[in-house]
């Protein structure tokens, strides 16, 4: 099993290119099942989760061509298998995103019920309730969701709570339903908007993506399209935190500042110097004087839960004390015990972390537990004194493309070691 070895204390300096967004790529790959036309995607990130979704599409019968320069082309003319098996769904919960498209295009799908994961129970009840509201006949048994529908019918459905992939599943299903669908309290994440843009390019009739109310008028069929995946805002903000943590000076290219106002505002409150040079580049600097802040995660446009672990590291090295409240997932402080082993002064009470800033962290052997927690351990290692050896880095490869190569290009002392 690979590990990542980091020797801390070096300011990050230089330019880093941001990759395409994982959480836009996954629903958009699933959306390709809605058409037998060719879907051509550019700016697709090289990530484990993307590979897993491509494997799943391959099992459905998709013909996939991958070209380093030209991107990914998907031909679903010969899709003939509508099952998402346990072994694939168990490695990636986002496999649930094929449910809406398969049901809408082929009227059937058997999907392994995604279990919970490190950060929470992660139910999919709203995905199921929404599709039932559109006329699907859905039974649960033997660990599988068995869904059938002659033709889905448009309806009005309200999400509670807001769910990103729940919104995406119903948005995709509604594009081929009979009549109009209105999704209330829909997720507003930029990745939902990117999915909607791709669906519109395929001929879908969608209004309101990015707001809490999305209106979809079903059509009889969708065509292929070309689509460029938006930049990954979580990767971008992760590297912004790394630049501030190490008192560096980093230019992030192929980035999209307009999807990052909440993290940018919080980092500026802490004393970071952030310049949006154009709508594709962000320069991040810090002189080392970082003030503690309070933080509460919430659905977009609030502060993203996927950045909570990274910010906790920064607050741990700030002047003062900060309170971090996680409102989206019930168990997303798994990284805290590892950070405490590096000297962080953090106390957890329920869904709140009380952080007292300390002057330094000390490198140690640590273990990753989930994708964003593993990123926070890399950040901690970059700022810590001495060596940090991070195990179970397969978590990090799910969502960060070549993280150690990108950080080494910024003069970080970081390498992947096997065994």
- Is residue 120 within the footprint of ligand EPZ (CB under 6 A)? yes
Cα distance between residue 153 and residue 211, in whole Å: 22
- Is residue 138 within the footprint of ligand EPZ (CB under 6 A)? no
- Is residue 232 within the footprint of ligand EPZ (CB under 6 A)? no
Of residues 121, 107, 114, 65, the one with CA closest to residue 88: 114
Of residues 131, 138, 139, 137, the one with CA closest to residue 155: 131
Of residues 56, 62, 59, the one with CA closest to residue 74: 62
- Is residue 161 within the footprint of ligand EPZ (CB under 6 A)? yes
Residues 341-380 that bind ligand EPZ (CB under 6 A): 371-372
- Is residue 124 within the footprint of ligand EPZ (CB under 6 A)? yes
Least distance CB 237 / ligand EPZ (angstroms): 12
Sole binder of ligand EPZ in the list 127, 188, 227, 266 (CB under 6 A): 127
| Binding window for ligand EPZ (CB under 6 A); candidates: 3-11, 115-123, 178-186, 264-272 | 115-123
User: Which residue is associated with the tokens 């809406």?
Assistant: 100
Cα distance between residue 321 and residue 357, in whole Å: 6
Query: For ligand EPZ, what does the binding mask look like between residues 305 and 344, x meaning CB under 6 A?
Result: xx---------------------xx---------------
Inter-residue contact 233 to 190 (CB < 8 Å) = yes
| Binding window for ligand EPZ (CB under 6 A); candidates: 159-167, 248-256, 261-269, 403-411 | 159-167
358 classed as catalytic: no
Angstrom distances, CA of residue 390 to CA of 183, 342, 417 = 42, 12, 10
Any bridge partners for residue 4, and if so which? Answer: 390, 416
Query: For ligand EPZ, what does the binding mask look like between residues 250 and 269, x meaning CB under 6 A?
Result: --------------------
Tell me the H-state helices in 79-189.
Answer: 86-91, 99-106, 125-133, 164-174
Sole binder of ligand EPZ in the list 4, 47, 79, 126 (CB under 6 A): 126
Sole binder of ligand EPZ in the list 26, 267, 380, 384 (CB under 6 A): 26
Cα distance between residue 166 and residue 130, in whole Å: 8
User: Which residue is associated with the tokens 């048994």?
Assistant: 141
Q: What is the dihedral of CA 49, 50, 54, 56, to 10 degrees?
A: 20
Sole binder of ligand EPZ in the list 20, 218, 357, 399 (CB under 6 A): 399
Q: For residue 34, give the DSSP letter.
A: G
Cα distance between residue 264 and residue 273, in whole Å: 10
Least distance CB 126 / ligand EPZ (angstroms): 3
| Binding window for ligand EPZ (CB under 6 A); candidates: 10-18, 156-164, 203-211, 377-385 | 156-164
Least distance CB 85 / ligand EPZ (angstroms): 19
Residues 288-307 that bind ligand EPZ (CB under 6 A): 305-306
- 415: which residues sit within 8 A by CB, 6+ positions away? 4, 5, 404, 408
Query: For ligand EPZ, what does the binding mask look like between residues 42 and 81, x meaning CB under 6 A?
Result: ----------------------------------------
Count of beta carbons in the 10 Å neighbourhood of residue 219: 15
| Binding window for ligand EPZ (CB under 6 A); candidates: 61-69, 101-109, 160-168, 408-416 | 160-168
Nearer to ligand EPZ, 164 or 262 (CB): 164
Nearer to ligand EPZ, 305 or 388 (CB): 305
Least distance CB 305 / ligand EPZ (angstroms): 5
Cα distance between residue 287 and residue 95, in whole Å: 43
Least distance CB 154 / ligand EPZ (angstroms): 20
Out of 117, 198, 225, 358, the active site residue is: 117
Inter-residue contact 148 to 7 (CB < 8 Å) = no
- 61: which residues sit within 8 A by CB, 6+ positions away? 76, 78, 79, 80, 81
Give me 360's structure tokens. 């330094």
Q: What are phi and psi of 135, to 5 degrees?
A: 100, 5
| Binding window for ligand EPZ (CB under 6 A); candidates: 68-76, 162-170, 175-183, 308-316 | 162-170
Write out the catalytic residue numbers: 117
Residues lying near ligand EPZ in the complex (CB under 6 A) are found at 22-23, 26, 94, 120, 122-127, 161, 163-166, 305-306, 328-329, 371-372, 399
């Amino acid at each position: 099993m690979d590990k990542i070895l980091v020797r801390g204390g070096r300011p990050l300096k230089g330019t880093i290119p941001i990759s395409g967004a994982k959480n836009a790529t996954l629903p958009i790959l699933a959306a390709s099942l809605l058409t037998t036309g060719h879907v051509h995607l550019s700016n697709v990130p090289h990530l484990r989760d993307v590979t897993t979704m491509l494997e799943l599409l391959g099992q459905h019968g998709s013909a996939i061509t991958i070209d380093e320069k030209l991107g990914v082309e998907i031909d679903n003319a010969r899709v003939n298998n509508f099952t998402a098996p346990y072994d694939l769904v168990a490695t990636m919960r986002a496999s649930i995103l094929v449910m809406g498209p398969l049901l809408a295009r082929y009227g059937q799908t058997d999907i392994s019920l995604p279990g919970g994961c490190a950060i929470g129970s992660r139910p999919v009840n709203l995905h199921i309730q929404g599709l039932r509201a559109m006329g699907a006949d859905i039974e649960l048994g033997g660990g599988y969701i068995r869904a059938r529908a002659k033709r889905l019918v448009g309806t009005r459905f309200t999400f509670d709570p807001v769910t990103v992939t729940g919104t995406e599943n119903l948005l995709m299903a509604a594009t081929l339903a009979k009549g109009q669908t209105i999704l209330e309290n829909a997720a507003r994440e930029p990745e939902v908007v990117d999915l909607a843009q791709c669906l519109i390019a395929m001929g879908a009739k969608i209004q309101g993506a990015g707001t809490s109310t999305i209106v979809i008028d079903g059509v009889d069929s969708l065509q292929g399209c070309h689509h460029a995946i938006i930049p990954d805002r979580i990767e971008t903000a992760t590297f912004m935190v790394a630049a501030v943590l190490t008192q560096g000076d980093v230019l992030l290219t192929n980035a999209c500042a307009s999807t990052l106002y909440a993290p940018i505002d919080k980092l500026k409150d802490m004393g970071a110097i952030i310049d949006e040079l154009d709508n594709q580049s962000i320069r991040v600097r810090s002189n080392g004087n970082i003030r503690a802040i309070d933080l509460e995660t919430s659905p977009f446009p609030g502060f993203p839960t996927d950045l909570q672990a990274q910010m906790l590291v920064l607050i741990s090295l700030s002047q003062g004390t900060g309170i971090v409240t996680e409102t989206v997932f019930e168990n997303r402080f798994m990284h805290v015990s590892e950070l405490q082993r590096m000297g962080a002064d953090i106390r957890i009470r329920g869904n709140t972390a009380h952080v007292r800033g300390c002057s330094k962290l000390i490198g140690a052997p640590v273990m990753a537990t989930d994708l964003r927690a593993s990123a926070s351990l890399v950040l901690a290692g970059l700022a810590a004194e001495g060596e940090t050896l991070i195990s179970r880095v397969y978590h990090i490869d799910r969502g960060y493309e070549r993280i150690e190569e990108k950080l080494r290009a910024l003069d970080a002392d970081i390498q992947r070691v096997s065994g």
